[in-house]
Amino acid sequence: MRAAWNRLSAAYQGRHDLPTDSAHYGPWAPPENELRILGDVQGLHILELGCGGGQCTIAFAKQGAHAAGIDLSDAQLDYARRLAKAEQVEVDFFQGTAEDLSAFATAAWDVVFSTYAFHYVENIGRCLGECARVLRPGGRLVFSLDHPFRDCFLDEEEDEVTIYPARSYFDDRPVQWVFDTTGVRLQSYHHTIAQWLELLSNAGFRLARLLEPCPPKEVLDAIWPEDDPLSPLRHVPLTIIFVAEKT
């Protein structure tokens, strides 16, 4: 996974051109400054897992948070450090896996945040246990992913979208797929909503909110215009956001 993201980083950053004025929840969701899930982050200690190019960590720091990010990929972190320097923002970036947060003290963080990274984490139970450990009591874990329903309509192995379910909602075998035209193979892990709730509860979290934001109309128009044969897929949720509180 580390080698794959090192190879992918330049293509990923070139394709997405992510903002640093607000944290985001992925390519099909409105950003934090519209959803207002976290609200005012001034003075909060926020740790971002799978921070990639660091855009969300930097956005939090710009808004007055004490922010740090961890990612598996050296290339993603090189990009993040260059970006933080260019934006003149003080943030710490660490190389490592979200399954092992031993670099961070217990109960030291108000928020653990992650956008579109948890589905790459093989041992997600261990990762959520580590999130609970580093959060203070009442601290929040906020993370976004592809909605499990979206996974059913995208055959990642063939990079094809289909109007009929391509994959069972209940199929939790890892999925192997190629990122765009890069030829780089990735593996991701998919869980049903009920499995996510169970995983969170087992790790010591209480679900505070579950969001399925409707993608902005211009995003849907770009992917599946109204006259496209695949336009019924406009009705499928694309992103899911979990907000959980450490009990």
Ligand X SMILES: C[S@@+](CC[C@H](N)C(=O)[O-])C[C@H]1O[C@@H](n2cnc3c(N)ncnc32)[C@H](O)[C@@H]1O
Residue numbers of the site for ligand X (CB under 6 A)?
A: 1, 5, 18, 49-53, 71-73, 76, 97-99, 115-117, 120-121
Q: What values do phi and psi take at 114, rounded to 5? A: -155, 135
Residue at token pair 């004025």: 21
Q: 135 vs 145, which CB is nearer to ligand X?
A: 145
SS3 track for 36-64: CCCCCCCCCEEEEECCCCCHHHHHHHHCC
Q: Where are the beta strands (DSSP E) in 116-155?
A: 135-146, 154-155
235 residue type, one letter:
H
Q: Which is nearer to ligand X, 44 or 56 (CB)?
A: 56
Q: Smallest distance, Å, CB 55 to ligand X?
A: 6
Q: How far apart are the first and last CA of the chain?
A: 32
**Which lies closer to ligand X via its Cβ, residue 150 or residue 231?**
150
Left (φ > 0), alpha (ψ -120 to 50) or beta: where does 183 sit? left
User: What is the nearest approach in angstroms of ligand X to the Cβ of residue 220?
Assistant: 20
**Measured between alpha carbons, how far is 52 from 168 in angstroms, rounded to an integer?**
29
Q: Give residue number: closest CB to ligand X.
A: 52
Cα–Cα distances in angstroms (integers) from residue 144 to residues 17, 101, 156, in the given order: 18, 19, 19
Q: Which is nearer to ligand X, 78 or 99 (CB)?
A: 99
To ligand X, the closest distance from the beta carbon of 164 in angstroms equals 27
Looking at beta carbons only, is 118 or 224 nearer to ligand X? 118
Q: Nearest distance from residue 76's CB to ligand X, in Å?
A: 4
**Closest approach of ligand X to the CB of residue 171, in Å:** 21
Residue 82: other Cβ atoms inside 10 A: 12
Per DSSP bridges, beta strands 66-71 and 92-95 are parallel
Pick 124 or 244: Cβ nearer ligand X:
124
Q: Which of 23, 91, 87, 78 has the alpha carbon at shortest distance from 56?
A: 23
State the nearest-atom distance from the C-beta of 121 to ligand X, in Å: 4
